[in-house]
Amino acid sequence: MLPTVDALNVLRIQMERDAGRLFPTLREYHNFYGVTRQRLEKAGRAITILHPGPINRDVEISADVADSEHSVILQQVLNGVAVRMAVLYLLSSRN
């Protein structure tokens, strides 16, 4: 599947909502579903990594991927609220 994508939007596990109870351990979740450098290397090309933040490092995404040159997570977090506010403003001004 990864060889066909340009970007990968990793979803966040909401630990504060006790989402961790849905799987046996965080390690197991990471082993089965976590985005790791090894998994990305199988794609054979660069993939842009997105994540809404905050990151549960080494659970849904490994720290080295989150901090890699292909990650735009920090930009997403920095600009996310302003972009959402602008979209809501534009949508609310429509008749």
User: Which pLDDT tens digit goes with each residue over 64-88?
Assistant: 999 999 999 998 888 888 887 888 8
User: Which pLDDT tens digit goes with each residue over 30-64?
Assistant: 999 999 999 999 888 899 999 988 899 999 999 99
* CATH class of the region 2-92: alpha beta
- The Cα–Cα gap between 51 and 90 comes to 24
Q: Which pTM does this prediction carry? A: 0.74
Domain boundaries, given as residue ranges, for the chain: 2-92
- The Cα–Cα gap between 28 and 24 comes to 7
Beta bridge partner(s), residue 50: 9
